[in-house]
Amino acid sequence: MAARYESFLSAGVRLAAIDVDSPAQHAAMVSKLDLPFAYLSDSDRAGAIQPFGLSNPDDPRNLAYPALVLLDPEGAEVWRWVSRDFADRMPEDDVVEVVGGYGWAPVAGEAIEIGLAEPGPRAMPFEGLSFYLRGARFAALAMGLRHGHHDPSIKADSKEYVAEMDRFLADYAALKERRG
């Protein structure tokens, strides 16, 4: 979403990410990925995750389903997309197309304040992201090749996930270039 941030502002959308990690872990993520939008903590899941029905009862870590929830300027929900699992993401260009359809007036970005950054114990360093993404891409490709001839839906999922990893790798390369 960060790579398309200006497109969201042009479509009248202010972005915010919400998950269960601590504010310090979010500050570390914002710094690591140079995120231009707020990353909010809902560690008890009572602020947004449960009210929006996004708690994942099948996740032993009690994480939320990754989701996109669009609220209109008055705060009413007008659209939502909920993932199947932690790795499922809607392509950012598709999200921009959806939100652009509402015809809202462009908005200005807001300065975000980054607090004390303390990465979580399992946080991946920025330099490790490309290895992770390439590994995930290769694994998805292998699963599609291994099982896709038995089940076409596996082939389709593999193809989608490979495309997602390609987008993430391109965003990673662009961020690395900006950092110098």
Residue 70 structure tokens: 């669009």
Q: Give me the amino acid identity at 80.
A: R
User: What pLDDT is attached to residue 176?
Assistant: 95
Give the pLDDT score at 166: 96
CATH superfamily, region 1-123: Glutaredoxin (3.40.30.10)
**pLDDT value of residue 57:** 84
Going by C-beta distance under 8 Å and a sequence separation of 6 or more, which residues neighbour residue 166? 137
Read off the pTM.
0.85
- pLDDT tens per residue, range 118-130: 999 999 999 999 9
pLDDT at 91: 92
Instruction: Give, in degrees to the nearest 5, the angle at Cα 52 between 49 and 53.
Output: 80
Q: What's the mean pLDDT in 157-176?
A: 95
Beta strand 77-82 with 67-71 is: antiparallel
